[in-house]
Structure 1
Amino acid sequence: MAEYEYCNEWAYLASEAGHDDPRVLVSVGEDEWALQARSISEFFVLLAAVRLPSHFGWSVQLIDDDFPDGAAPRERIEAAYCPMGFQNWRELGADSALFGGPDVIVRHDTGMADFSVEISGRTREALAAAAGTLGWTWDEAAVEPPNKDAEP
């Protein structure tokens, strides 16, 4: 499987094709692959956790400089939220870990993503609470509401 510009590819090994739920690999270089998910089932849950929250919920994308002095964003995230148990999401140079909390998913990227932190909340209030927990000063202009075509 590849995303629409074929910059990334996901696959499973031919030797595992007969398995009930084979591992999924992601291309990370010219002829280099890394583990993306421990099974196809996990891959699709991870894909949903990466794509859907920012589409159907409230979100904000931040860089390290958006956080005031103090602990680095990853330290703040790990202190406040639990890892979701997935392999890091890899796509277009990104290497993002997912953390979960009350009505929020927080992604932290240590790769080459445009933003190092993305917070997605089921509600605006959940997003505001997570932003406050992580020490981000609320900026209404940076906040993205749910997509207009999202079903209620």
Structure 2
Amino acid sequence: MNWGRKLSAVCLLILAGVLRAVQAVPVKANVSVLYVNALKNATESERCECGLYGVHSPVASVHGPVVAPNASSLQACLWNTRFPATGSPWIALIERGNCTFTEKIQRAAAQGAEAVVIYNSIMNGNYTVPMAHPGKCF
């Protein structure tokens, strides 16, 4: 699935997971995305088992609007990175690179994110790798 093109559309909802525990090994994530396809002027949805929960992450089902950082860099590495307010539980969408997973997660969590999705940019390849971020983040 080419999420790079999908993410350029307005993402409305993402659902992931079924377990409720913190694990020490990677766990596959079922991802469902509901989005508005601006080219077709229609709402579309897709589902795949194409993600992994991070090692040391709580594994739980979450849903809400997907929100990218309000910054020139989508990597959420700068101390002043902000996410637009949504008024409801939300999921941070952050590009991989330039700082640790823990830093990215803590920045989003401090602003109220329900969950964090960290993705590879198209230029860095379309692959899924396990990540670790020791310590409690949420």
State the TM-score, normalized to the length of structure 2.
0.24
| More helix per residue | 1
